[in-house]
């Protein structure tokens, strides 16, 4: 299977292995030519066409950009089937282990969250750390293999993968940018501090038929490494701060309005996703209960904890809601008769 890889890459694995752990801000390497050139061209020719409804849906929400993905990699054509055979082969897994030092890597046949990714002009990916446990297999996510399929891509068009040291504190954040042209690749260890994303894609008017294309393969191990968290999380994003120009006296331009709407839409999406996960947590518990079963002490504690967590969240939202509706009555909004006293914060079960 390794014949599908470039000779240049195969001859540089020892050097890449030395670089992987040393590179900052997190373990990673960038590879200029991962695949055999002709094979890469065949993948590009079989890349699935973009669904035009994606662009329409984003525009309907007042946003630029749009993104599609396809997790059914083996259905995309002969070259993608060969690619799938390659990335799951023992030879390739052994090669990844030699480079990264991570043994017993597991390939995900579901391509959960991975597969082909295509981002349109105006799209961005906020700095984030990835979810860490596979939702069905329960494995721990360890590596992202990101292969780019963008001939003649120019750096000034944006969309380059950026690795961040601390996006929560932009004043001290260190950023490393990785190439995303044709046949370039980034291999990134996924940890609770491997922040990454890409800035907005801004194609010139004559190039807006182009898109940012990649194939993402994620690898796992049965158990988390001892140095990383065992806490099960979803993807964690860092939203952009309000722009510095938003102050009294500034005359808003059309682009300012669009930027602000996009920022609010992304915040809305993130808060909605988290709320849906919290609600789903309760549903998953309820659906395993059956008539005639005895409620255990663990069941009781879990359900009471879930109810209390939702009640605390609703109460906080009610206070914020009142404050936003009544900005000139701050004292009254904190003393509304139907609001409960803020409970002592207990860990969520």
> Residue ranges per domain, the chain?
2-237, 254-333
* C-beta atoms surrounding 106 within 10 Å: 18
Exposure string (b/e) for 239-278, b if CB count within 10 Å is 16 or more? ebeeeeeeeeeeeeeeeeeebeebbeebeeebeeeeeeee
Measured distance CA(155)–CA(126) in Å, rounded = 18
Residue 4: exposure state from Cβ atoms within 10 A (0-12, 13-18, ≥19): buried
**The residue to which tokens 């590009």 are assigned:** 44
Q: What values do phi and psi take at 39, rounded to 5?
A: -65, -40
Quote the pLDDT of residue 137: 95
pLDDT number for residue 61: 67
Q: Of 106, 141, 118, which is closest to residue 235 (Cα–Cα)?
A: 141
| Per-residue model confidence as pLDDT tens for the chain (349 residues) | 799 999 999 999 999 999 999 999 999 999 999 999 999 999 999 999 887 777 777 767 667 788 899 999 999 999 999 999 999 999 999 999 999 999 999 999 999 999 999 999 999 999 999 999 999 999 999 999 999 999 989 999 999 999 999 999 989 999 999 999 999 999 999 999 999 999 999 999 999 989 999 999 999 999 999 989 888 998 999 988 888 888 888 898 988 888 888 888 888 888 888 888 877 777 776 777 778 888 888 878 877 887 788 888 888 888 888 888 898 888 888 788 778 766 554 444 4
Please state, as a whole number, how many other Cβ atoms lie within 10 Å of the Cβ of residue 178.
Answer: 21
Q: Give me the residue label for tokens 């906020």.
A: 126
Candidate CATH numbers 2.60.120.20, 3.30.43.10, 2.160.10.10, 2.60.120.620; the one for domain 2-237: 2.60.120.620
- The β-bridge partners of 133 are 140
In the 3-class helix/strand/coil scheme, how is 193-211 assigned residue by residue? Answer: CCEEEECCCCCCHHHCCCC
Question: Are 153 and 180 within 8 A, CB to CB?
Answer: yes
């Amino acid at each position: 299977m390794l014949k599908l890889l470039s000779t240049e890459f195969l001859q540089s694995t020892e050097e890449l292995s030395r670089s992987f752990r040393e590179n900052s801000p997190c373990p990673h390497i960038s590879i200029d030519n991962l695949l055999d050139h002709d094979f890469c061209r065949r993948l590009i020719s079989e890349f699935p066409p973009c669904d035009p409804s994606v662009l329409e849906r984003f525009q309907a929400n007042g946003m630029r950009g749009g993104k599609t993905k396809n997790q059914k990699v083996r259905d995309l054509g002969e070259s993608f089937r060969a690619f799938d055979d390659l990335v799951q082969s023992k030879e390739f897994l052994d090669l990844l282990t030699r480079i990264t030092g991570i043994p017993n890597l597991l390939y995900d046949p579901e391509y959960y969250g991975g597969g082909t990714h295509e981002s349109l002009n105006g799209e961005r990916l906020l700095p984030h750390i990835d979810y860490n446990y596979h939702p069905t297999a329960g494995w721990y996510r360890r590596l992202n293999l990101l292969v780019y399929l963008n001939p003649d891509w120019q750096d000034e068009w944006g969309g380059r993968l950026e690795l961040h040291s601390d996006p929560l504190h932009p004043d001290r954040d260190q950023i490393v940018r990785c190439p995303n042209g044709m046949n370039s690749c980034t291999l990134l260890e996924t940890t609770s501090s491997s922040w990454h994303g890409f800035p907005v894609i801004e194609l010139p008017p004559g190039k807006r038929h182009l898109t940012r294309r990649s194939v993402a393969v994620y690898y796992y191990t049965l158990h988390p490494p001892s140095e990383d968290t065992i806490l099960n999380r979803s993807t964690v994003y860092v939203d952009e701060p309000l722009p510095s120009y938003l102050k009294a006296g500034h005359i808003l331009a059309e682009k300012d309005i669009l930027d602000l709407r996009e920022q609010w839409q992304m915040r809305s999406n993130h808060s909605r996703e988290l709320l849906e996960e919290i609600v789903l947590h309760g549903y998953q518990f309820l659906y395993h209960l059956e008539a005639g079963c005895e409620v255990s002490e663990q069941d009781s504690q879990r359900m009471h904890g879930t109810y209390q967590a939702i009640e605390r969240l609703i109460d906080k939202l009610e206070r914020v809601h009142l404050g936003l509706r009544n900005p000139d009555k701050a004292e009254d909004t904190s003393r509304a008769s139907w609001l409960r006293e803020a409970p002592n914060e207990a860990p969520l079960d």
